[in-house]
Amino acid sequence: MNDTLTLDRVSPRRRDAEATRAAILEAAKAQFALLGYDCAVLRDIAREAGVDVALVKRYFGGKEALFLEALKASFGANGIREWDRATFARQIAVSLADSPHANEERTHGFQFLLRAATSPTTAPLLNLIVQDRFLGPIREWLGGVDADARARVLAASYIGFLVERLIRGEALAGREREVFIDRVTAMFAALVAES
């Protein structure tokens, strides 16, 4: 008879660098959206991601580099290339008539961008990212005459409507919704069409 106690060996948790990096990035986007760049703290971001603050520094170097990566991750430039010219204007109009709470992740992403735009520290960084990952792909997608100006007007209009939807806080209904969708569809269709 063996009197020795046998312990089940528990294998250490596998490290998954990609999952850890993604968790840090998601926590950063949430903290920057909630508090802005100046008030967000790396220690809180690490805690929300479930990691040590040293890992945040290891993967991203520091707060500014983390902010830039979070900002880049908030722009899905590849999705722009997949827009369908025939349905784009109406799809945008319908989404703008809906509640901002229909997609909380996108709403938080937009709040993050708004906070970045209002900080003197981060506004210049946001401008660079917007040019590269938002306006550039829109310009390319639009193509044709005056693509630069049309892309800027389209982006500014869309952002303005997103702010209005965020302030409104709920979906439009009834006749107001119908008129809103028709008018916004016409506006965006005109921006997509070459003059």
Is the same domain home to 93 and 154?
yes
**What is the per-residue pLDDT for 43?**
94
Q: What is the pLDDT of residues 3-24, one digit of tens each?
A: 444 444 444 435 688 899 999 9
- Tell me the CB-side half-sphere exposure of residue 24, using CA atoms within 13 A: 28
Q: For position 34, which CATH number holds?
A: 1.10.10.60
Q: Give residue-wise pLDDT tens across range 139-154.
A: 999 998 899 999 999 9
User: What number of helices (H) and strands (E) belong to the chain?
Assistant: 11, 0
Alpha carbons 171 and 36: distance in angstroms, whole number: 27
pLDDT in tens, 85-104: 899 999 999 999 999 888 77
Integer Cα distance of 108 and 20 in angstroms: 21
Query: Whole domain around residue 43: which residue ranges?
Result: 17-71
Residue 99: inside a domain: yes
What are the tens digits of pLDDT across the range 153-184?
A: 998 999 899 999 989 999 999 999 999 999 99
Within-domain flag for 128: yes
178 found inside a domain: yes
At 77 the pLDDT is 54
